[in-house]
Each structure stands twice: as C-alpha cells, then as structure tokens.
Amino acid sequence: MLIRQTRREWLWRTAAAVPGLCLAGSSLSRAAAAAAPVAVGRSKTYEPSELLPVVESMFDQLGGLGHLVKGKTVAIKINLTGSPTYRMGYLPAEVTHYTHPHVIAAAVHLMGRAGARRIRVLESPWNTADPIEECMLLANWEPRDILNAAPNVEFENTNYLGQGTKYSRLTPSSGGYIYPAFDLNHSYEDCDVFVSIAKLKEHVTAGVTLSMKNCFGITPCTIYGTGAGIDEPSETPKGGRGSVHTGDRQPSKSAPPEKDPGSPRQDTWRVPRVVVDLVAARPIHLAIVDGIQTMTGGEGPWVREDPQPAAPGVLVAGLNPVNTDAVAMAVMGFDPMADRGTPPFEECDSTLKLAEEAGLGTRDLSRIEVAGTPIGEAKFDFAAIRRRRRGAPSPPVGVRG
C-alpha cells in the first residue's frame, strides 16, 4: 500500500528513527547513522525583526517544531564560556564567544509558540553556584527577555545539584570512550527534548567548538572539577574542569570513574572523547549554531593565538549534532572529514570522526541534506584566516595584552 506523507512528516519520521539506529552499535547501524537534514540561514544582525523570521524559516525547513516540542519539557544548553568579565576589547561577550541572547530568545519563543509545555535554559557558569540570571546581568543582559519569550521558561545552573534532590546518572549509548557513565544535574534527565545552542568558533584544544563541544559544560564541577569532593560531590563548584582535560584526578567516588586510568592524559586526546561520551549519554535532538557574530582564533578572548572578532552572518541548525557540526565546519571553510594532523585538528583528534565511529551520526556532506542557503554562499573562511594567522610572525611583546 502506498503511504503518502508530506516532506515535513518524512523529515521528522527520519529524525525519530535515528536514535534507534545509533543505539545498536553494529557496523550496519553505524553505516546508516543519522543523515538528518540541516538548515543554513543568513542574518546580518541580531535585531529580532531580521533574526526571528530567519530562525523560523530554518525550523520550517527542518520539518517544523511542533513534532518535537509540543506538550514536552525542553532543556536548552547555552554557551556562556568563561567569566562575564572576559571581553575582547570593549565588545560584549555575546558578539564574540557567548551565544547571543536574541538567538536564545528566538528559539525559546518559537518553541513556546509550537506548544512546548516547559522550557529550561541551562548552563554551568564559570566556577559558581550563582543563578544564571546573575551571570547574565554581569554580562549586561536582561534575563527577562528570555524568561518572557514563552510561557513557563526557567533557568537552572547545572554546575551543581541545583534544584534537584540527587544527581542523574546517564550512560553513553556507545559504551563510552573514557567514562562509562556521568552523574549530571537532574535537568539533563528531566526533559523530553534536549537542545544545544552553541557559538561558531575554533577551539584551542578541540579544533572547533560547535553543538557537540558545547556539551562539555554539562559536567558539574562539584563532581568533575579540580576542587570536587573526593568521596561525595562538593556542595558548591570549586575549580574548573581542568581534571577532565588532563585526567589528573578521578571524579568524586560517588560517580563512575574512568574506564581506563592508564589511557593518555593529553587534553587533545581526552577532550574530544569526553565530548562524544557526553553526547552519547545525553543525545541532542536539535542543534543550533550561532555564527552571526563570533571570533576567530579560539573559544574566548583569553586564547593566545591573536583572536579577532568576525561577522559571518550565518546560522546553522539540524536534527542531528554530528550532521549539524559537519555543515558548520564546511561553512567555516574546514573539511568535516579531516582527521588529526589536518586543520582544524592539527594537534587533536576530531570530535566529529569519533562521534561518527560511535554511531552518533555521519559527517559526510554527500549524505546530508542541506536546506536554505547553500554552503558555498554562507561560507566565511575561518580556514584561510587560520592559515594567515599561523603563517604570520608573533606580535612584539607588549603589543597585545
């Protein structure tokens, strides 16, 4: 019998089938792993009058939000990496390394309009148990712009126990490269839909930071931080995630330790694998990458590789994070099929390759349907800027801060 369905219904049926494929872990399931659609949009500014129609059109190109969020609890991981006091010159953080509040508000508004029952905006702010609202105020944001974008919106700092009574243990569907399971804030389990809103950036340790690398920050520092409790989680975050980078200590004994404490301790080996383990444990249903304004040279103003502001004027969104990050890499002028030793992975392993090998999705552009603006038209060549930057002599001492 011929079953007729619209393209939108087909997109969402395809996306819904992907997690089951990934869980199997066989070579067949990996070969068939997620090839969900990705949308690319252009916006020159963050003005809501220009931004909102672009984001809405991109969601429509992915099949619409209703199938995903209607009647559901949605958790959105944003990216507020580093202290709000870190700035590139006088530029606000949201135009260099934070996801912009207008992108967050636009996504929240459209999800609310599509029928989301509850929306939690999540982040693990820099070494603090302060409410996310306080961190936003320090960045000169108005939290109410996001809270009022839809009904039943709330924030939660996931760097510690937060509003929960216990941590949730989530297990990677792939078995895990480094960690067999993670103990995380309850919000990452108490949701029906998980969304990653990231910034389009290079990364000193991982090559690029996009929707998957954004999830490195879901690990609570009370368990995985340099000052975490030894036997039990500390009450508040103490120290950053340096121990996850270097493996110089295990998480609190209440959480599962590494599978192999004798594995390499290099951050360029560990970080990409930890990211894949986290995404396998907490799958991303919708990935959004903000590249309207960003920076080159790394993940924040603190990096030493001559960071500069950039305005690609692009947004990327998709139903699978590996597919989405592959398209985002191509928009940046990088080859998503690149391996260690090739830009932007000169000194690190490719998170995309590891995710593909774990059965989380394909990075092969020939298998990914790209809707909206073609990659060639959206391209902002980070790769060329990287070549020029790395070929230039270091600035004289004292020229840059």
pLDDT (mean) for 263-282? 97
Across the range 121-131, mean pLDDT stands at: 90
Give this prediction's pTM. 0.91
Indicate whether 25 pLDDT > 70.
Answer: no
Instruction: Give the per-residue pLDDT at 395.
Output: 54
**Span 291-301, mean pLDDT?**
97
Positive or negative: CA dihedral 272, 275, 279, 281: positive
pLDDT on residue 400: 32
Structure-model confidence comparison of residues 392 and 193, the more confident one:
193
- pLDDT at 239 > cutoff 70: yes
pLDDT digit string, tens, across residues 83-121 = 988 999 999 999 999 999 999 999 999 999 999 999 999
The mean pLDDT value for 149-178 works out to 96
Which tokens in the block code for residue 92? 């606000």
Q: In this predicted structure, what is the pLDDT of residue 29?
A: 40
Average pLDDT for 113-139 = 94
Helix (H, G, I), strand (E, B) or coil at 29: helix
- Calculate the average pLDDT of the chain: 91
Integer Rg of the chain from CA: 20
- The domains of the chain are located at 7-383
The pLDDT value recorded for residue 126 is 78
Q: What angle do CA 215, 283, 62 make, to 5 degrees?
A: 100
Assign 31 a pLDDT band (cuts: 50, 70, 90): very low
Instruction: Please report, to the nearest 10 degrees, the dihedral formed by the alpha carbons of residues 346, 347, 351, 352 taken in order.
Output: 20
In the predicted model, what is the mean pLDDT of residues 379-398? 80
Residue 315's DSSP bridge partners are: 41, 290
Whether the link from the prior residue into 237 is cis, omega within 30° of 0, is: no
